[in-house]
Amino acid sequence: MTKVTYPKHIKILHKTYDLVERTEPSAIIDMESYGNHYEILNKIEWVRHHHESDNVDTIIHEMLHALYALFRIKEKDTEEEVVSRLSTGLTTLMKDNKPLFRTFLENL
């Protein structure tokens, strides 16, 4: 099976984020997860899984963290407010990163 490649940069709302694959064996232990979102650095790091659908899930998970931060979602926000912002953010993500989302769909 061919290793799927992902772009090095993605657009999230008005910002360009670095999308960094961590390849060191200790990456999961260092990060304590399969991915991290760094708002101040405009960076998402992720660790490759054996199953491609898990890679898609991890990257989407971290992109949603970025949207959560950029929209300044708060605990007091209603479910409708959160869902409205995230749906707008997800629509924008898909529009601004079509090649990435095509890759996602091709590898699920």
- The DSSP letter of residue 45 is E
- Domain boundaries along the sequence of the chain: 9-106
Enumerate the H helices of 2-108 as residue ranges: 27-31, 52-70, 79-96, 98-106
Give the pTM.
0.90
Helices then strands (H, E): number in the chain? 4, 4
Q: Name the stretches of the chain with pLDDT < 70.
A: 1, 25-31
Give CA–CA dist 85/80, Å, rounded: 9
On whether the CB atoms of residues 35 and 58 are closer than 8 A, the answer is yes
Region of residue 72 (phi > 0: left; psi between -120 and 50: alpha; otherwise: beta): left
Residue 2: its pLDDT value, please? 74
